[in-house]
Structure 1
Amino acid sequence: MFQIAVQTEFCAAHALTIAGLVEPVHGHNWRVTAVIAGDALDADGLLCDFHTVEAVLRDITAAWNNRNLNDSEAFNRTSPTAENVAKVIADSLAERLNGSLAPHAWVASVSVTEAPGCVATYLRPHP
């Protein structure tokens, strides 16, 4: 099994409702780590070019940079928790990288660090 990991960062605010209580809007410097996994490499010896993953990851998060996640269409129906941010990024990354990955490679996980020591990870099932 092979894995590559690509990281990016963005700044965004959010407000969560937890147990019926609404938090005030607050911001984070979010760190995102995407992991691509696969059993075999392509003809060039890659799962996927790091630069390709990085460009797509940055494009996804650029829509949220310096904004409030609660105002994003991606979170119209779900709360912008770190867990949900990780899932939205993972699903979008997988959709947009379709065709760029080696055969038998997939977006395995996305981890989102909201603050030092506070990390949420979404594990995508093996296709």
Structure 2
Amino acid sequence: MSIEAGIKDLLKNDTDIWQSVNSRITPLERDESGPLPAIVYRSSEPQQERLLDGSFENIARITISFECWGGTYIAAKILADRAIKVLESFTGEIEIYPGKTVKIMIINAAPVGEDKEFNLPTNLVEFEVNIIYQP
């Protein structure tokens, strides 16, 4: 598993999201002919700053981009708002593989795509999540 898988599990464990998307939370891209609603995510590489002594600091950062697809823009917006609420309200640890957990310190979400609003499909809402954690 990974941070992405742990974040996906947070979304899957939310009853409202699970009833809406079921198993349609996928990495990279969605099946264009598949049913909606759906959530797609992509992540950056984790980043850790190197200290002057050559060691790494005790926190890491990762950005995960989300696409929330719905039958309509309103449905996609409701799904995105719920996902943001679930993620931003989480504190604690997530399991990234059996026996290994990381402590999530901050999850901060922000909308993206507002500058290209008229080029987006009308049933898509995008947002990014910045996660700071202790590896």
TM range (shorter): 0.3 to 0.5
TM-score by length of 2: 0.33
TM-score by length of 1: 0.34
Larger RCO (CA within 8 A; separation ≥ 6): 1
